Structure 1
């Protein structure tokens, strides 16, 4: 009777928090801030931290913010107020057996130049991945049984930290650079760095008098130039199946493509350029989107005026706008087009494949300027969710609402490190609390039109080109090239159609570029009609570098050196 009375007197939220997590003093020398994540799975085929997806096979995550968590103390999690995915409520966890894991995504405090103090997860070399970030605290998966007893408390504890990732080593062909950015350091109030993988052209060390064009590859790709390798693949290694492409031994295919690219790069007929992959992970994502942002800082200026000139000076680049070109896919496709549009004279051409939405009238399947809700179609008597992911036949596996609720469980205040949140972090104005203003309510989907207008004026690339074409057009003519599958998994082709309508109608001057679509091609088709998407997505360098070299003479000034570096 006494225990029942005590339970009745406890706040309902505390009574529902059936999980208690210990922060061992051995793993924390001081109090910690971050996002506490409880991960639950009925599948022991992988750790729960690797099973949180937008798709139908996702497992469960429950998240809450923690501040000043003292070593040796406990936190409770599982209340109705805690964010949960895909559960509607953390207290609705069905009884049964689970594999449980806890993770603390650690936050750092930043005092920015705009006067705001914010707590964010700094990238630590992993590419802003909450489930891989070095230093994050973690527990080994533990089999538990959740009962229907509301008084049950399940004790969990961290038992290790994710280890550090070593810096990549230079090779004969690939060098790695890392510079302190003054612009970004001033903004963030602490040292901030930009980096790049640099692929040297054939005979770079021997031809010391030659200066080279710069091929700038944007996008979040973990391996140096697709795993550029100078030896054939080891086919004795076990095959790895790709569920995405339904291909067995896909790891061998990837390695063969990397080796084939090396042979082309080292061959007699490939253009000799400096190819770089920019590393610009930040406290919100593994890419900055290569533009200036109220929340991320002046990444566009830092890349264009600090990193690129440094690389050109160090590795004998030509160092002029006509001799720099941009290419990439998905995020990298948007970045390539954005940098070309916003810095039209600093870059000579762009090749944007499967770009993130470039016209916000088709922000995937949302019109940010006309729709009232991002999650649901307007209707008086029925509820229809907007799709978020499809396959090449149009079969939907996730909705926009589901993707956003997953992010909300992983991090509040746009801190999940995932796709919808980074768009918000880059494009939105700063809120009163120092974090990005929401483009829509993360729970309900209601769109904030004031925020949408800020997005349009600063980052809607199609709108910016339409608005500024009289002055921008002469600087962009012949430089804009876009490629997209017409069954892109994330409906990115919709925005390309709208941008194409404007570009094809231009006359003073005509944009004079290339826009093509792949029939039933998914994300991230890059314009190669001869290969399936599983292969073409591995051939960005070998496809776009020769394409640019064939047209460079159109944009080069009279007397420019177009021969010494070519072959």
Structure 2
């Protein structure tokens, strides 16, 4: 009797295992594959740029499997990659297409369009704002890019079916667009955003002001990493088109080795740049979003990023803005996000499945 029971249990275990294996087609190599379409937009928003921003902006659009043979319309996720990477790098070297294909095949998310676009200046990040130095990046996004995608692809052209996401500086841009344009983007997810607020270090202590003040061309500031990044920040948020070659007002100077702050310019910078400075102004917009989430890596070697994201979620709570904020164990990085079990697949795409209208 005991032997017979064991045989029955073994048989049931075999059938169970076979059933589990047969129920996992989404993880095979035969999943339906989407396609990637490259396009260009000749923009009107960069003709007055002082630093040589090209008016030709390139984008890549992921279309899900079956798109060509259907008349169905789809929600859209706009993605702002880190400006340290080429805008196509997530597809060319990080495996993004396979991740999106797999997520759709296994039911993590319904079929959707995914758009990534070059939003960089010659120095890196545009910071996604209208600037008299670099051009009108907000206007490009909401007046040109989104209408172009809606006109040329079968989208569900409403804010309820349109999300925006980004990584690092792109995460900053995603939150900023959600703050200012909730009628365009109904859901927002930021992967490890920066520029969210004050960090541990004093803002003006990072760039090399002597180097920037002596610069004759943009190439001169490229000699120092922080100076390159902060020149892009200053060009975006405290621009001055009448001050070549860098085209911004200096928030600080070195005088006899001492850092002297220009309080009025610094105030302009903080009020225009930091996301936490904008919360009060755009609180009602943020409350109207269908979903808002951001995350950050606990082991980021730059503690400013960790500290400022802690502060951002606290301030959002003070204004009663519903959101999700998650600190995860590890370090940040594009390739880690786009791995088979990275945060795009495990967190970002399920978030949009919940908050977008399909």
TM more than 0.5 = yes
Hey, what's the Cα distance between the residues in 1 that align with 2:313 and 2:299?
17
Asked whether 1:436 is paired with 2:248, we answer: yes
CA shift, 1:330, in A, is 1.0
Q: Which residue of 1 aligns with 2:12?
A: none
CA distance in 2 between counterparts of 1:292 and 1:223 reads 20
- 2:260 pairs with 436, 446, 451, which one? 446
Question: Would the alpha carbon gap of residues 428 and 315 (structure 1) be closer, same or farther in structure 2, given more than 3 Å must change?
Answer: same
Number of corresponding residues: 308
- Within a 5 Å distance, the mapping from 1:141-540 to structure 2 comes to 173-185=35-47, 192-207=55-70, 209-219=71-81, 220=83, 221-222=85-86, 224=88, 226-227=90-91, 260-261=98-99, 263-264=101-102, 267=105, 269=107, 270-283=109-122, 285-359=123-197, 361-362=198-199, 365-366=201-202, 374-375=204-205, 400=206, 404=208, 408=212, 412=216, 416=221, 418-430=228-240, 432-434=242-244, 435-441=247-253, 445-469=259-283, 471-476=284-289, 478-490=290-302, 491-506=304-319, 510-519=320-329, 521-524=330-333, 535-536=336-337, 538=339, 539=342
Once the two structures are TM-superposed, the CA of residue 486 in structure 1 deviates from its matched residue by 2.9
Cα separation, partners in 2 of 1:319 and 1:406, compared to 1, 3 Å: farther
> Which is higher, the Rg of structure 1 or of structure 2?
1
Alpha-carbon separation, structure 1, partners of 2:179 and 2:97: 34
Unaligned runs of 5+ in 1: 1-170, 229-253, 369-373, 376-399, 525-532, 554-561, 563-567
CA contact (8 A) 2:243 2:249 kept: no
Instruction: Give CA-to-partner distance per residue, 1:108-128, whole Å, 9 cap, x none.
Output: xxxxxxxxxxxxxxxxxxxxx
Asked if 1 retains the 8 angstrom alpha-carbon contact of 2:294 and 2:325, the reply is yes
Bigger Cα displacement from structure 2, 446-455 vs 345-354: 446-455
Greater share of helix residues, 1 or 2?
2
CA RMSD of aligned residues (A): 3.2
Match of 2:353 in 1: 549
Relative to structure 1, is the Cα distance of residues 453 and 271 closer, same or farther in structure 2, using a 3 angstrom cutoff? same
Q: Deviations over 1:368-412 (max 9, x none)?
A: 5xxxxx33xxxxxxxxxxxxxxxxxxxxxxxx36xx379749955
TM-score by length of 1: 0.49
Taking the aligned partners of 1:203 and 1:311, their CA distance within structure 2 comes to 18
CA-CA distance at 1:540 after TM superposition: 5.4
Consecutive unaligned residues of structure 2, counting only runs of 5 or more, are 1-32, 223-227
Q: Which has the higher contact order (CA 8 A, sep 6+)?
A: 2
Partner of 2:72: helix, strand, or coil?
A: coil
TM, length-normalised to structure 2: 0.75
**Are 1:225 and 1:277, in contact at CA under 8 Å, matched by a contact in 2?**
no
How many Å apart are 1:534 and its aligned residue?
6.1
Structure 1 residue 259, shift from structure 2 partner: 7.2
